Amino acid sequence: MNQSEHTKRTGKVTWKSTGTYRVKSPDSIEINCSISSTLRKVLVYPHADPSSRRPTVDKVEDIRMIDPVAINDEVEFIDNEDGTGMIVEVLPRKSKFSRLAAGPRPVEQVIVANVDQVIPVMAVAKPKLKWQLLDRYLADAESVDLPSLICFTKADLVDEDEFREEAALYEKIGYSIVLTSAVDGRGLDELRERLSGKVSVFIGKSGVGKTSLLNAIQPGLGLRVNEVSDVTGKGKHTTSHLELFELNTGGCVIDTPGMREFGLWEQEGYDTSWLFWEMRPFLGQCRFGANCTHTHEPDCAIKDAVESGEITERRYESYVRMVR
Ligand code: GDP
Ligand code: ZN
């Protein structure tokens, strides 16, 4: 049958795996879709130039095709009226959560479209909390102009007051924090409230408790929880698809299992210091002005601010690691 004999409809991408998408129509019917060859033509295949191959292979997982359709995209699709369809157009995105795909030139890969907030999910313990990773996630979100909400999990494993004191520096910088536990239920109401009416993306290592948190926020999701290895304290993830969860209390959450790198700040010429909120007031005041990397230069306003305690050493170290 000719494609044009079928109805074109709009919907939202709620699930995707390589080359396969689930689109939810406004009347809440889910259609399994492929994408049209026209859309496929805009796929970018970042091929590594064999002559410039790097000695390390740590980026191999990023060398793959760039999918033109992201989770939560509004799309036009041709409905075959048998539960299947074909995506023919991606409608303009109001915001996007992206990452740079490796290759001879950096290519933006949109992971989730129409996002309202990024939620770095960090376990307070088990695995050990890595503050530098949190700083990286916050910078990732800044680099794509999205606000962050910091969500700590497994609060049942530490002394809450002590931990809040340690985490307070982020509130001082201007970030919001929720402290949750899937085990004793603390913080869940607050988190539900902060998720309500918004599209949120969870980022965090496997094993930090994202799945347990989603199950706790919405009993009935019934997602399979990871076993944390007692030896390494790390989770083993198994998921290879992306999915949008709609919450009964309002809002949607997308988890990003297995993804490690986000954001666009790794591009050449990117001003990483701008991604650290507390550094912004000092930018431009260094002796070398905009050329200062705030690492080794004399008369650096950022380094002075670290010295005087206006910028914490911990955050400054995270910055240095990111520019090094
Ligand atoms: P994910 O990989 O981020 O989705 O993490 P999971 O939700 O699969 O959880 C990893 C492990 O942490 C599992 O063994 C959970 O039982 C455990 N866990 C999750 N949430 C909590 C929590 O709030 N408190 C404690 N003590 N353990 C938790
Ligand atoms: Zn400087």
Residue 201: which of 283, 259, 240 has the closest Cα?
Answer: 259
Q: How remote is the CA of residue 300 from the centroid of ligand 2, in Å?
A: 4
Report which bound ligand comes closest to the CA of 182. Answer: 1
Q: What is the pTM of this model?
A: 0.88
Relative orientation angle of helices 210-217 and 188-195, to the nearest 10 degrees:
80
Specify the pLDDT at position 159: 98
Specify the pLDDT at position 105: 74
34 Cα distance to chain centroid: 25
Instruction: List, in sequence order, every residue forming a beta bridge with 112; answer none if it has no partner.
Output: 71, 97
Q: Report the first-to-last Cα separation within the chain, whole angstroms.
A: 57
Report the alpha-carbon angle 40-115-206, nearest 5. Answer: 85
Report which bound ligand comes closest to the CA of 289. Answer: 2
Domains of the chain with CATH codes: 1-42+64-92 (2.40.50.140), 111-255 (3.40.50.300), 272-323 (1.10.40.50)
Report which bound ligand comes closest to the CA of 181. Answer: 1
State which of 188, 205, 208, 212 you would mutate to test the pocket of ligand 1, scoring each by most atoms of that ligand within 8 A of its C-beta.
212
The span from the CA of 29 to the CA of 202, in Å, is 25
Contact 181, 213 (CB under 8 A): no
**Which residue, judged by its Cα, is nearest atom 21 of ligand 1?**
154
Q: How remote is the CA of residue 301 from the centroid of ligand 2, in Å?
A: 5
Q: What residues flank ligand 1, with Cβ below 6 Å?
A: 153-154, 156-157, 181-183, 206-212, 225-228, 235, 237
Which pair of structure tokens corresponds to residue 4? 């044009």
Going from the first residue of the chain to its last (324 residues), give the mean pLDDT of each consecutive group of 10, the final group possibly shorter: 72 93 95 89 48 38 66 97 95 94 80 97 97 96 96 98 98 98 98 98 94 91 60 52 92 91 83 95 95 96 98 97 92
Q: How remote is the CA of residue 136 from the centroid of ligand 2, in Å?
A: 20
